[in-house]
Structure 1
Amino acid sequence: MRSYKAKMVETISLPSREKREAILDEAGYNAFNIPAEHVYIDLLTDSGTGTMSDEQWAALFRGDESYAGSTSFAKLREAVEDVMGFPHVVPTHQGRGAENVLYGCLVDEGDIVLNNAHFDTTRAHVANQGADPVDCPIEGAKDPSVDGPFKGDFSVERAREIVADVGADAIPVVVLTITNNSTAGQPVSVENTREVADFAAEIDATFVVDACRFAENAYFVQQREAEFDGSSIADIVREQLSYADAVTMSGKKEALVNIGGFAAMHDAELFEAAKQRAILYEGFPTYGGMAGRDIEAMAVGLREAVEPPYVEERVQQVQELGEMLEAEGVPVYKPVGGHAVYLDAGQLFSQLPREQFPGQVLVCELYREGGVRAVELGSFAFPGANRLELVRLAVPRRTYSREHLEHVAETAGAVADRSEYVTGLEITGEPPVPELRHFSATLRPVTE
């Protein structure tokens, strides 16, 4: 039984199949272009789509809208230091704002940035600075059938090979994403975090943690890493983040709000540089592109994120969806991650070549079959990369019930039953930034 109850509801409805067909065509077979009013179950992202608590709603009314030095910012700064251990905080409008602020201070043209696996906006921000984003996944991370407790770990061995090729001076930043969104939401161990921190220190690089889902990661550590058996989520969070020099954070995930983010760090000199860049791109350093009410709600959400009932129920609901999908015969990346279930479209549509984007085909078929919106994280979202053809079903926090998840599983099962009859897709238009093409590119069914 959930540890919360609903205080507000929103009516949803499933458009007719005929209408869903027309909507897909009008959207250019891109789920980002589908109007939300025509989506029945929306699993496009868990970013900013969750349900806030009554305490967070109360915080909205307490928000201080002062341009400079607001009391709401002071509460956020205190929450970040208490929960995550960082004394210096630069608020931003969301996670990609934090990436722009921090990487704009740390990365120059010609640099190389290492990550266990860059997500789309992180990769784009590194590339925008003229640098090269390079992934360092561990062996087995790209195999959906391989079991392992921490498949999101960073391969220090691979990173050392890169250093041997290019030299340490070419690598100013090492990033660890927890949980690893681009590797099916897989967690990262504290042991690996320590190893990456030592490696970054060896090459004199700034060690940055992308902490968007830090509490979910801590839950997996609690359950799977022997050293932390019996430790609290809050204590694990502080331990794991203590090894980082800085973090970027989208508050739209584990801070449980609909907008907002921040960069936080230990170094006072980096803090001053980040504040100046934030003034240029985000706003004054005590509001950073957010209303005071949103900052206040984020401060509350950060503290709620490390409360045991929330984290346990959050992860277990995602695990439950994974079990339902497997029962329907849908190929699922194993083990299931903390914020989403990733479907293996390459296996499901094995007859489709990569250039016909089997993952994006699955996204479209899920909407066509049951009004379910998902996102492709394969060759369409990451052009040129040797990636699995995955589709992410990201579950919003504290939003959907078991019945909603049952509909998702039944929809995916129906698609799987007719998988041999689907048609591939081809791109008809795309933006000039390849790292971001999946947000706005248009496609059409292959006719030959």
Structure 2
Amino acid sequence: MNDTTRNDTLAPISYEAEPYRIKAVEPIKRLTVEQRKGAIEQAGYNPVLLKSEDVYLDFFTDSGTGAMSDRQWAALMMGDEAYAGSRNFYRLENTVRRYYGYRHVVPAHQGRGAENIMSKMLIKQGDFVPGNMYFPSTRLHQELAGGTFVDIIVDEAHDAQAPGLFKGNVDIAKLSALIERVGAERIPYISLGATVNMAGGQPISMANMRAVRTLAQQHGIRVVLDACRSVENAYFVQQREEGYASKSIAEILLEMCSLTDACTMSGKKDALVNIGGWLALNEASLYEQASNLVLVYEGLHTYGGMAGRDMEAMAVGIEESVQQEHIQARVKQVEYFGHRLAACGVPVILPVGGHAVYLDAKRFLDHVPLEEFPAQRLAVELYLASGIRSVERGTLSAGRNVTTGEPNRPTLELVRLAIPRRVYTQSHFDFAVEAIASVHRRRKELRGLRLTHEPKFLRFFQARFELL
């Protein structure tokens, strides 16, 4: 952790009123206990496989689940659905250049489409891709391209109870050791995640990004940013890192991106849309390659799998995402939820991240062995008890070693409660706190799960279980 950080960010959180008013509503219903039992059994005790109509509060993901603004809904009517050269692409391209700073933009249907193209362009068989903790789809694309992911995040990130305001930082010593061991020519790029998802939504500091950039330039290695929640990371830099309190979110975001060579982006997070993403680059030669590959896997280089109207709504969303009122309210809402749970004695990852609250299943269900998937079992119980849908981020998500076939053993065993943007109110979070606290009080009653169906890739999406 950088010693220039401020330490005043963990004060008690009060709820701040949302900087918007509700113009349209969507009804939700809460099933009975018996109905929920039937639904989760039919889903193979995997909340991912539940029908959304059977979920009361959906904290499965913040990806594509947010509410669009009136300006974004109006933007949908401005869609130019020409197959080639849509004016909405050029509006999106200019907006990405303005706020993210990259020279070239290739649209994709969502973030993993951009990851696929990036991996196919840069990774060769036998390469090593260092990153500040893996994300399942990112690592899978790297592995399918012939690479091996190497975790270079600071040790604190693997400790649910460790303090630290920037637990998403890269351990520079680990990165240096990897370069020395395998050689810079076998490292196509350094993969940097903003507000590291699998670590509990923990941010990376600007000082650390600068150190990574300096080391990478010394060895001629590219730096690629997973920018899907970089606005949230910029907010944490503004609030926690010395020298940034007076800078705007837009200024910080631009500085972050200037320390990298390219980015993959899922616009379904920070950019406040339900679908879409992009690959952004500075090198003209890579842009030419990406423009060619996007034809094969996504669509023409001026739409990349998106409708024109979606690109227009995304451009508006990017502009709204950097507004101080928006991002502050978004992060404070998550902090309120997390701090209320912690006050009830529920074990959560602290500091609370920017997009989700993470339950520490190792402490929550300390009597359930990892072989019985405690985080998955906890996610099942949250649904049974209250209709809340969450997602496992632990042993199941970690998958298997591509060489040995043995299960990967992450140090963290978490349940993620991801918060959709501009969707839920304080009453929803207060209900969720009471429901989760009640499960915590009777946690010793719970037993684990047995895996009955295991897909080859990204198994947490479609795996099935039975109760032990």
Q: Where on the TM-score scale, by shorter chain, does this alignment land: which range?
A: over 0.9
The question of whether the paired residues in 1 share the 8 Å contact of 2:386 and 2:435 is answered with yes
Quick one: distance in 1 between partners of 2:159 and 2:438? 25
Residue in 2 aligned with 1:363? 379
Residue in 2 aligned with 1:115? 131
Instruction: Within 5 Å, give how 1:23-422 maps onto structure 2.
Output: 23-383=39-399, 384-422=408-446
Show CA shifts across 1:350-397 (max 9, x none).
011111011001100100000000011001110313231111100000
Structure 2 unmatched runs, 5+: 1-16, 400-407
Residue in 1 aligned with 2:459? 437
CA RMSD for the aligned pairs? 0.9
Quick one: distance in 1 between partners of 2:321 and 2:263? 17
The question of whether the paired residues in 2 share the 8 Å contact of 1:172 and 1:204 is answered with no
Q: SS of 1:134's equivalent? A: strand
Residue in 2 aligned with 1:18? 34
Confirm whether residue 7 of structure 1 aligns to residue 39 of structure 2: no
Quick one: distance in 2 between partners of 1:156 and 1:414? 42
Q: SS of 2:155's equivalent? A: coil
Show CA shifts across 1:109-150 (max 9, x none).
111101101211101100110111111110211112211110
Quick one: distance in 1 between partners of 2:339 and 2:289? 47
The question of whether the paired residues in 1 share the 8 Å contact of 2:62 and 2:420 is answered with yes
Q: SS of 1:350's equivalent? A: coil
Q: SS of 1:164's equivalent? A: helix
The question of whether the paired residues in 2 share the 8 Å contact of 1:328 and 1:412 is answered with no
Quick one: distance in 1 between partners of 2:264 and 2:409? 24
TM-aligned CA deviation for residue 177 of structure 1:
0.3
TM-aligned CA deviation for residue 157 of structure 1:
0.9
Residue in 2 aligned with 1:426? 450
Quick one: distance in 2 between partners of 1:157 and 1:215? 27
Show CA shifts across 1:259-311 (max 9, x none).
00000011000000011010100000000001100010001101111011000
Aligned sequence identity (%): 47
TM-aligned CA deviation for residue 328 of structure 1:
2.3
1:399 aligned partner, one-letter code: V
Show CA shifts across 1:18-53 (max 9, x none).
111111111011111000000000000000000000
The question of whether the paired residues in 1 share the 8 Å contact of 2:159 and 2:411 is answered with no
Quick one: distance in 2 between partners of 1:432 and 1:156? 34
2:183 aligned partner, one-letter code: G
Q: SS of 2:77's equivalent? A: helix
The question of whether the paired residues in 2 share the 8 Å contact of 1:137 and 1:152 is answered with yes
1:242 aligned partner, one-letter code: S
1:438 aligned partner, one-letter code: F
Show CA shifts across 1:412-431 (max 9, x none).
11110110010101110111
Quick one: distance in 2 between partners of 1:282 and 1:201? 32
Quick one: distance in 1 between partners of 2:57 and 2:456? 31
Quick one: distance in 1 between partners of 2:451 and 2:177? 36
Quick one: distance in 2 between partners of 1:27 and 1:200? 46
Quick one: distance in 2 between partners of 1:359 and 1:367? 13
Runs of 4+ off more than 4 Å: none
Quick one: distance in 2 between partners of 1:179 and 1:211? 9
Quick one: distance in 2 between partners of 1:445 and 1:161? 44
Residue in 1 aligned with 2:402? none
